[in-house]
Amino acid sequence: MATKLKPTDVVVIGLGAAGGVAVLPLTQAGIDVVGLEAGTWLTRRDFAPDEIRNNVRDWPQSVQKAQQEVPTHRVNAKANTTRAGSHPMMNAVGGTTLHYWAQSWRLNPWDFKVVSDTTRRYGAARVPKGSTVEDWPFGLDELEGYYDKVEYETGVSGQAGNIKGAIDPRGNIFEGPRARPYPMPPLRSTGFIDLMAAAARGLGWHPFAGPASINSRPYQNRSACMYHGFCNKGGCHVDAKNGPHLTTIPRAQETGRLKVVTRAHVTSIDTDDQGRVTGVTYVTDGQEFIQPAKAVLLASYTYENSRLLLLSKSKAFPNGLSNNHGQVGRHYFSHAQGAGVTALFPFNINAWYGLPAQGVAVDNFADDNYDHGGLDYIGGGNLWVMSDRRPISAASMGTFGRTPAWGKEWKAFIKENADRTNTAYIQKTTLPYEDNFLDLDPTVKDPLGFPVCRITADYKDNERKVAAHTQERMTEWYKAAGAGATQANPLGTMGPTTHAYGGTRMGTNPETNVVNAWGFSHEVPNLGVLGASVMGTSGARNPTLTAQALAWRTAEYLAKNWKSVTS
C-alpha cells in the first residue's frame, strides 16, 4: 500500500536543466518545494575523462531509468516502429546538464514570430503546408530578463553582439538586444578556430565565439575550464560546467525550503474530482509513495512530460491529464541536427585539445538573417565548427572513399588523418507538423509495466531544403579554409533526440496548446510544465538556456500568483 507523505507547497518532477532552475525562485519566495528526482547526486569524481564509460557505455554510474524507457519511433502512422538501443538523456540531480555540451544560446527575435514575420515579408503561403507552427505568445523582449538571470545565476561565457541595440562585431551581430554583457568572456580560441574564423571573414561572413555554460575563468568559487576535452557526453571533473546541481539547486537548499528526494520515479500526477492536481505518486525500490502538493511543476524532459500526462488518467481527464483538447503529444519536433559536413584537411588541426562548446559560429544563414525572397523555404541554420576529438571516435572516422574501412591501408589512412578531420555541427530551423506527434506505444513497456513513449515523426521538405542550403555554405567555408575534401552527411530522421520540442506546447489558444503563456495548463490551473516541451519553435540553436529562462519565468509567476493558482 502506498505511503502518504506530509503535504508540501510545490512538487517539481525532475531536477534537470529546467526543474533544477525553477526551484530557486520558488524557495527564495518562501515556498516549500519537494524535488522528486529519478536519479541520484553524482559528483565530479563520477566523471572521469573516459570515452568508453561516457560515450560507449552510456554512464553506467548513473540510474538507468531513461535507458529502460527508450521511446519507439516510426516515420509515419503506417510505417514500421523501431527502437533505438539507448536514450541520450541522464538521470541525476542536474539532469542532462551533467554530460551535455553546454552550448548556451538564446533564441533570436525571428524565432518567436515565425508566422507573422514570414507572412509580412513573403506572404502567408510561405508557411509550409501542414505545419502547425504558431507565433509564441510573447517576443524575445519578454524573455530577455530571464535569460539574463539564468546566465548570471549559473554562469555563461560568451561575447555579446548586441547590447541595448549597440552592435559589437566581435559577437553575433544578428542576435537580439541584451541588457548587459555575458558574466564571463568567451572560452579561448585555438589555431584551427582562428583559421576558420579568418576564412569566414574572407567570405564576407561574421564569425563569432559561441556562448557556453562553462567557466572561462573561475566563477562563483569554481574552477575555470582546463580544455582537456572529454566533455562530449562526459561530465566535468573540475566542476567548470555549470549545471543546476552546482548552482541553483544548492542555493535553493540553502534557503531550507528545498527537499531533494533522489531515486524517486514519479508514475502519475494525481487529481481530484474537480480536475485539480493534488500531488504525485512515485516509486522508490518497489515502494509506492504519495506526495500531496498545492501545485506541481512537471520537468522530466520532453518525452516523459508527454508520457506522464498521458499515463495520468482520471475521471476528469479520461484521455490523460490536461488532454481534454487532445493536444498532449501534438506539435512535436526534434531539432534537425543531422546533415553536417565533414572535411579533411591536408594538415593536423590539433583538435585533441578542446571541447564541443569551444568553437566558432556563423549565423549569416540562420533564421531569416538572409533574404528568402527567391527561395521556397523558410528558416536556416547556425554553422558551428568546434574543437573536439576523442580516440575511439577518431579511429572510426570515414575514409572519404580513399581506402577500404579495414586492413593495412585503412590503418595507414587513420594514422595519417586522425587529426585532420572536422565535422561541423549545423542546427537548423525545424517546424511542427500536423502528422508529427508523441503518444503511448501500444506494445512496448518499461520494467514497471507502463507503455513507453512512441514518436511518429519525420522531417519534411522545408527541413530538407534548409539542410541542403546550409551544407552548401558549410562546404564553401571549409574549402575557403583549405580543406582538401568534404563530405555532406545525411539528415537522418526524427528518432529519440537530445533536442526534443513540443508535446505540451505553450500558446494562448487552448484548442491548439497545452499550457498558457505562463507555462500553466489551460485545463488544470495548478499544473505547470517546464522544458523544451513547451516551445513551439526551435530556432537554429540548442534549447537549454531558453528552457531554463522559461522555467524561471513560470516559477516566478507561480510565486507571484500563489493564491490564484493554488486556490
* Neighbour-count burial of 159, counting CB atoms closer than 10 A to its CB (0-12 exposed, 13-18 middle, 19+ buried): middle
CB of 538 to ligand FAD, least distance (A): 11
Residues with Cβ within 8 Å of 21's Cβ and at least 6 positions away in sequence, in order, are 150, 153, 154, 244, 248, 548, 551, 552, 555
Q: What is the rounded CA–CA span in Å between residue 355 and residue 344?
A: 19
Q: Which of 346, 517, 332 is nearest to 434 (CA)?
A: 332
Would you count residue 236 as binding ligand SF4 (CB under 6 A)?
Answer: yes
Out of 19, 71, 207, 229, which residue is the one contacting ligand SF4 (CB under 6 A)? 229
**Number of residues in contact with ligand FAD, rule: CB under 6 A?**
41
DSSP E strands, 14-105: 33-36, 72-74, 82-83
Which span sits near ligand FAD by CB under 6 A: 92-100, 185-193, 371-379, 429-437?
92-100
Out of 11, 12, 16, 521, which residue is the one contacting ligand FAD (CB under 6 A)? 16
Build a one-symbol-per-residue string for 541-560: x at contacts with ligand FAD by CB under 6 A, - elsewhere.
Answer: -xxx--x-------------
Q: Per-residue DSSP letters for 453-492?
A: EEEE----HHHHHHHHHHHHHHHHHHHHTT-SEEEEPP--
Would you count residue 227 as binding ligand SF4 (CB under 6 A)?
Answer: yes
Contact 503, 306 (CB under 8 A): yes
Per CB under 6 A, which of residues 367..406 are in contact with ligand FAD? none
Per CB under 6 A, which of residues 462..501 are in contact with ligand FAD? 498-499
CA dihedral 165, 166, 167, 172 (to 10 degrees): -60
* Neighbour-count burial of 6, counting CB atoms closer than 10 A to its CB (0-12 exposed, 13-18 middle, 19+ buried): exposed
Per CB under 6 A, which of residues 240..259 are in contact with ligand SF4? 240-241
Would you count residue 196 as binding ligand SF4 (CB under 6 A)?
Answer: no
Per CB under 6 A, which of residues 202..221 are in contact with ligand SF4? 214
What does 547 bind: ligand FAD, ligand SF4, none (CB cut-off 5 to 8 Å by kind)?
Answer: ligand FAD
* 445 bridge partner residues: 451
Residue with Cβ nearer ligand FAD (282 or 413): 282
Would you count residue 156 as binding ligand SF4 (CB under 6 A)?
Answer: no
Would you count residue 429 as binding ligand FAD (CB under 6 A)?
Answer: no
Would you count residue 226 as binding ligand SF4 (CB under 6 A)?
Answer: yes
Contact 465, 376 (CB under 8 A): yes
Contact 506, 515 (CB under 8 A): yes
The strand pair at 82-83 and 451-456 is best described as unpaired
Would you count residue 96 as binding ligand FAD (CB under 6 A)?
Answer: yes
Would you count residue 89 as binding ligand FAD (CB under 6 A)?
Answer: yes
- Residues forming contacts to ligand FAD in the complex (CB under 6 A) are 13-19, 36-39, 88-92, 95-97, 99-103, 233, 264-266, 299-301, 304, 308, 498-499, 531-532, 542-544, 547
- Residues forming contacts to ligand SF4 in the complex (CB under 6 A) are 214, 225-231, 236, 238, 240-241, 355
